[in-house]
Amino acid sequence: MNKEKVLNSLNNILELELAGVVKYTHYAFMVQGPYRLSVVEWLREQAQESLMHAEAVGEHITSLGEHPTLKISDLLETHKHSTEDILNECLEHEKEAIRSYYELLENVDGGSIMLEEFARTQIAEEEMHEAELKKMLRDNF
């Protein structure tokens, strides 16, 4: 296990998860329309989950004797606030998270069962979110 690569992956994930807290919270403010309440509830749950993920990642970083980053990933304001646009932005965020956790898994490369299992669990959760978003974006019943 290359500790430097693992730490870079973990810090990248931390930045991404902290950005998720901000993004999902912002999106929840912006949702309008007849499905607002259920979508807002889901978005707020995602913001809370991103915070829990960030906390777990920070703990892994400090367990390795290192210092977690104070940065967060880019927060680009698209000014597109239809529910569909918001859900599409969420989908892109989830895809980026999946890529980041797969990168962590690759960088751990058998060096830590704890980190491998963490990465695998997070990949499964993020893939579930991706599937949920794809269903939410479908128009047919």
Between CA 134 and CA 137 the distance in angstroms is 5
CATH number of the domain encompassing residue 28: 1.20.1260.10
Q: How confident is the model at residue 81 (pLDDT cuts 50, 70, 90)?
A: confident
Residue with tokens 């919270």: 25
| In the predicted structure, residue 77 carries a pLDDT above the cut 90 | no
Instruction: Report how many domains make up the chain.
Output: 1
Q: Which domain holds residue 11?
A: 3-137
Q: What angle do CA 89, 93, 96 make, to 5 degrees?
A: 140
Between CA 135 and CA 141 the distance in angstroms is 10
**What's the whole-model pTM score?**
0.92
